[in-house]
Amino acid sequence: MILTVTLNTALDITYRVRSLRPHASHRVTEVTERPGGKGLNVARVLAALGHEVTVTGFTGGATGAVVQGQLTAAPGVVDALVPIAAPTRRTIAVVDELTGDTTQLNEPGPTITPAEWSAFQDAYQDLLAPASAVALCGSLPPGVPVGAYAGLIRAAKAAGVPVLLDTSGEPLRRGVAARPDLLKPNADELAELTGSHDPSRAAQDARRRGARAVVASLGTGGLLAAAPEGRWRAIPPARVRGNPTGAGDSVVAGLLSGLVDQLPWPDRLSRAVALATATVMAPVAGEFDRAAYEELLTRIAVTGEVTAA
């Protein structure tokens, strides 16, 4: 199975309102709720691709119970979230029906106690044994040490499990130094880590900082990969219109899927770009359009060079 870690899980709520005006009172016309946090999104896409997936991280309170209920309603996802005393946070996306704009309200994460963090580390260690790959995704809630991902990466490497890191800021900086197998930053995260706005140069710099391979997601510019085996660029066939929410998580799912299927790099990148593009095209944020995905798979342009042996 593939293991995804989401330390800062969320209940993602979307409200539709006719027109959002500060200081006014609004009737919400439609409410939707779904499990949130990068690793849970990645797991949902992996399960839809037919992989066995286990999710871990934290869950608490009434909001956590809703997250768990919806999570296990999806076939193929096993819930191994660790219970905590404080409630799982909510995020609220308010969609303005007139302009189409989204206004985001993100609750702070629950504070994790030292005993809860310790219980998580024990659970994670046990989950590594049957894992074929692990993804560490997203921000850290209060109470979790900023160097948390470095420790989780070292544990995965000691267990011989390939580990992907997708985070930002100081947790990313500390994590890279622990030598993850794969880093999946976007352009901003990569620039913040390395100080360079040239993605190709920055990807090489991130490798020097410790990452074995780096796949940078450049939005409509596709993916740029720098690995010991070579360097590639994968580009979607045409610019598509839609909702980019979840496209980055679909890239992570595609990369993990290609990794455990032992695909060569160009095929992993094609899978990731096709999934991300099919996610942008899907009517529901974070879902992917399967027919579009299968059609796109054959049409991703991958260029690059293999490192001389």
How far is 7 from 58, CA to CA, in rounded Å?
6
Stretches 44-52, 94-102, 182-190, 269-277: which one binds its own copies (CB under 8 A)? 94-102
Structure tokens at 15: 């409200």
Please identify, using beta-carbon distances, which residue of 101 and 126 lies nearer to its own copies.
Answer: 101
Rg of the chain on CA atoms, in Å: 19
Determine, following the binding rule CB under 8 A, whether residue 26 of this chain makes contact with its own copies: yes
Determine, following the binding rule CB under 8 A, whether residue 123 of this chain makes contact with its own copies: no
How far is 191 from 202, CA to CA, in rounded Å?
7
How far is 217 from 203, CA to CA, in rounded Å?
11
CB of 88 to its own copies, least distance (A): 11
Determine, following the binding rule CB under 8 A, whether residue 31 of this chain makes contact with its own copies: yes
Instruction: Tell me, yes or no, if 249 is annotated catalytic.
Output: yes
CB of 95 to its own copies, least distance (A): 11
Determine, following the binding rule CB under 8 A, whether residue 177 of this chain makes contact with its own copies: no
How far is 248 from 223, CA to CA, in rounded Å?
10
Q: How far is CA 211 from CA 13, 169, 298, in A?
A: 34, 15, 29
Output 143-148 pairs: Cβ under 8 A, ≥24 positions apart. Answer: 143/111, 143/112, 143/113, 143/114, 143/116, 143/117, 144/7, 144/112, 144/117, 145/117, 146/170, 146/171, 146/174, 147/171, 147/174, 148/7, 148/117
Please identify, using beta-carbon distances, which residue of 28 and 85 lies nearer to its own copies.
Answer: 28
Determine, following the binding rule CB under 8 A, whether residue 94 of this chain makes contact with its own copies: yes
Q: Which positions from 34 through 93 interact with its own copies, judged by CB under 8 A?
A: 61-63, 65-66, 92
Q: How far is CA 76 from CA 43, 97, 104, 250, in A?
A: 9, 34, 30, 16
CB of 104 to its own copies, least distance (A): 4
Among 52, 79, 107, 192, the residue binding its own copies under the rule CB under 8 A is 107
Binding residues for its own copies, rule CB under 8 A, total 30
DSSP 186: B
Determine, following the binding rule CB under 8 A, whether residue 104 of this chain makes contact with its own copies: yes
Please identify, using beta-carbon distances, which residue of 16 and 157 lies nearer to its own copies.
Answer: 16
Please identify, using beta-carbon distances, which residue of 62 and 308 lies nearer to its own copies.
Answer: 62
DSSP 160: T
Q: First and final CA of the chain: distance in angstroms?
A: 32
133-172 footprint of its own copies as x/- string (CB under 8 A):
----------------------------------------
CB of 20 to its own copies, least distance (A): 5
Determine, following the binding rule CB under 8 A, whether residue 307 of this chain makes contact with its own copies: no
Q: How far is CA 199 from CA 20, 136, 168, 202, 218, in A?
A: 37, 22, 16, 5, 8
CB of 66 to its own copies, least distance (A): 5
Among candidate residues 12, 166, 205, 249, the one labeled active-site is 249
Q: Binding residues for its own copies, per CB under 8 A?
A: 15, 17, 20-29, 31, 61-63, 65-66, 92, 94, 96, 99, 101-108
